[in-house]
Structure 1
């Protein structure tokens, strides 16, 4: 294990993060808010630390293999979480270290859970920093670094596959041409989303923040009411469109734009079908209670389902007030997630399709023992390694959810809050169910130990569980 190979790119990425801190510092300085000092000091501290590490290992002959890749991804996410928490801790919010780390972890993992209240009156720097954390986390910290920092080009395909669960990490032969297209797409979607939000009635600052958190499937807002602060339905439909787009595979959208052949349509159709089915179910429940504004009810139903299934986490009201069926529906939708290779978290449509194909082949084999029934995806036979990987992930997903929920219950949370907190952190969704952490609540009242565990679980979910657990195995550290 070459620790020096990990330290160099982490150092360079910390310098990159310090540059991002200058943006909210400038925003606060422009309006005369003293928090600009917190961001400037944080940028100086993080930048100096990253520079020292970079200079110390720049001329080393480092080895970079799969173990170094996995350690790098984990080290970067944890380092960015603590570095991102620094300006929040030093700001005038008077946050504890626990709350600052929780908020930063929630931002970077695009979870969207928050401990803050009074967002409508917070200074622009804090709001912008939360949005930037989600935008950087949505594209993937290391993915951004692969393109910007030469020291991260080694092992780029592995890094991208780990961060995004993309199944085609080298569609252009080399990773760099694909990442250039990816960043252009990501930036382009952000700009178009911001323009449409502005046209729909948001202020420029609101449009910027919500564009950053919509395209990243993050869900942080500039108000305690989230999207409920806007009266018109046009804002919600802009959000619906871009939340759905952000749930599509990057590669699928790039090939659509380039008018090239693509094979990812199966999981896209499946994902849209799930969202449409759940939206109609939610609309049916909501429409039973009130029938004077069916289009508004349809909009709210589609908006909230898409928000949860893409793991964005926006809310335009307390959808838990729609009844027990709606609460159960939104809780189940929390488990799903978007497509692989997207900004969405969750279980992912690709894995659900693989499981469905595997079950179908097993059932067909039981009905017709002499017939060879192989699971297939996108017209290709699924290799045993793919199906085994999905099965292992499914098992770890359920076990991780259950174990953390048990720990939260042991820490004093009620069953509903414990179950909801565990899945919303693991799937990187944000709001849970129940009066405590539902769409009308926050995570502020939870015990500190629960907040630390939730932050850990958010990062674990963002790293697709396996990438986070594997470094804890003794065999991982043994020299081969």
Structure 2
């Protein structure tokens, strides 16, 4: 293991991350709520720590290997979450414990959206902005951003890219990795700007429009109000959220191809995208129909309004709420938690298992049925008119197995920590799927659970964000063999 390149890279990344403490300072100067000092302290602490890590190894010219890439990704997410706690710990408006602060920062950076805070409406604007910004940075992956910048500083990024992007599709959009990262960020920023403008014209003020655009495009779910999007009670705002949650849940590589070829019909040729829309459509019909059929809402209009919004929010793992869905007939909240396991598309900012993996598993199941009927038949599994290799299918099976095992273990650990069954189930699902909202004791927020449960869930969030394999590899003894 070449630790010199690991320390050098983490140091560089920390120095870069220190710059993200500056926008909240500007926000505090605008609203004059005396929070700037905490962010200034966080800026210098993060910058200095990064410099101390980088300085002894600045002349290291060793190349990255996959093990160093994995170690940098995991350690940086942990270190970043650790330093991101600084404003939360220093602010007298919050008075948070270290467990709460780490949970909040990890939830933000992993775009989970679970929070231990209440009374958001009365918090200083700088803190509210900071929470939203954490999600925006985590949305595309701070490592991808670093891959676009680090080559200019003399550090390569291919291994970082593969360690961060452990999903099905690792295809680069452009010949050079740096150009790929830049292309993805251009799309990401463009969607964010478009979302913010749409929120503003739909009726939000500038502060909320920017804040909610961050968490919408990041598929995060953090809000500047306790009741989330429901605070605005606006058809127009909910429609904007639905549109951009849908867009953010699509593979960004697909967005790039549509933009580069100037052909919107490319979306309709993609198997994962069509399955994504199908899952959303089925969820919307089931939820809206059940709400109206049971008389929970008196009109079909209300049933459709809340059914559509909550279905899109949960399927994409955004976690916004326009109403307290935990009060719906019990089968519906449980159904929404289960559907969040599917998640958004691979290559999106969403969590969950990802649509493409579910699609491949369905195709594999159909293949087995056909083989049972026709034992001698040669049946290939295809995705977008291309045959899927056996290695890919084995990889998907392995991932799915690890995902299920991890979820069960986390749920049992939460129950041992004192959570009852429904709360433990929903909290485990909400964390590993990077979803946010839960049921039972965590339906409002996660402030009332034990510190032990918060640390378990923080680990689960990271596990889900790095799609299991990266973190599991680090925990395997074979990883550390020299």
TM-score (ref. length: structure 2): 0.96
Shift of 1:291: 5.9
Deviations 1:384-423 (Å, cap 9, x if unpaired)? 1110110011111111000010111111110000111111
Cα distance in 2 between the residues matched to 1:284 and 1:140: 37
Contact 1:164 1:343 in 2 (8 A): no
Q: Is the 8 A contact 2:166 2:470 kept in 1?
A: no
Determine if contact 1:334/1:346 at 8 Å carries over to the other structure: yes
Are the equivalent residues in 1 in contact too, given 2:73–2:160 (CA < 8 A)?
Answer: no
2:370 is the counterpart of 1:364? yes
Contact 1:267/1:353 (8 A) holds in 2? yes
Deviation larger for 149-158 or 127-136: 149-158
Which residue in the other structure is 1:133 paired with?
Answer: 134
Q: Which runs of 4+ in 1 moved over 4 A?
A: 260-264
Instruction: Summarize the Cα distance change of 1:213–1:164 in structure 2 as closer, same or farther, 3 Å threshold.
Output: farther
- Distance in 1 of aligned mates of 2:140 and 2:388: 28
Match in the other structure for 2:420: 414
Secondary structure of the 2:165 match is helix
User: What is the distance in 2 between the residues matched to 1:132 and 1:81?
Assistant: 13
1:475 and 2:478 matched: yes
Partner of 1:44: 44
Q: 1: CA distance between counterparts of 2:154 and 2:317?
A: 28
Whole-angstrom distance in 1 between the partners of 2:15 and 2:462: 21
In terms of mean alpha carbon deviation, does 30-39 or 344-353 score higher? 30-39
Matching residue of 2:29: 29
Q: What is the TM-score with the length of structure 1 in the denominator?
A: 0.96
Q: 1:201 aligns to what?
A: 203
The answer (yes or no) to whether the contact 1:135–1:212 under 8 Å persists in 2 is yes
Per-residue CA shift, 1:79-111, capped at 9, x if unaligned? 111011111111121000000000000000000
Instruction: Determine the structure 1 residue equivalent to 2:446.
Output: 443
| Structure 2 equivalent of residue 299 of structure 1 | 305
Partner of 2:314: 308
Larger deviation: 50-59 or 405-414? 50-59
| 1:143-162 equivalent positions in 2, closer than 5 A | 143-150=144-151, 151=153, 154-156=156-158, 159-160=161-162, 162=164
Shift of 1:157: 6.3
Distance 1:192 1:152, change over 3 A: farther
Give the RMSD, CA atoms, in angstroms: 1.6
Q: What is the CA–CA distance in structure 2 between the aligned matches of 1:203 and 1:156, rounded to whole Å?
A: 41
More off after superposition, 2-11 vs 327-336: 327-336
Q: Tell me if the contact between 1:9 and 1:152 (Cα under 8 Å) persists in the aligned partners.
A: no
2:387 aligned partner: 381
- Structure 2 equivalent of residue 463 of structure 1: 466
> What is aligned with 1:402?
408
For 2:232, the equivalent position in structure 1 comes to: 230
Q: Which residue number in structure 1 is paired with residue 342 of structure 2?
A: 336
Distance 2:25 2:82 in 1: 18
What's the counterpart of residue 113 of structure 2?
112
Give the deviation of 1:153 after TM superposition. Answer: 5.4
Q: Does the alignment pair 1:285 with 2:290?
A: yes
Deviations 1:14-50 (A, max 9, x none): 1111111111122123322222111110110001111
For the 8 Å contact 1:35–1:125, the answer to whether it is kept is yes
**Structure 1 residue 322 displacement after superposition:** 2.0
Q: Paired residue for 1:70?
A: 70
Structure 2 SS opposite 1:258: helix
Matching residue of 2:324: 318
Please, which runs of 5 or more residues in structure 2 have no aligned partner?
none
Indicate the SS of the match to 1:149.
helix
**1:431 counterpart SS class:** coil
Cα deviations across residues 311-347 of structure 1 (Å, max 9, x unaligned)? 1100011112220221221121121100000000001
Provide the secondary structure at the position in 1 that maps to 2:404. Answer: helix
Match 2:457 to one of 454, 459, 464 = 454
With over 3 angstroms needed to count, the CA separation of the structure-2 counterparts of 1:176 and 1:230, relative to structure 1, is same
Report the number of matched residues.
476
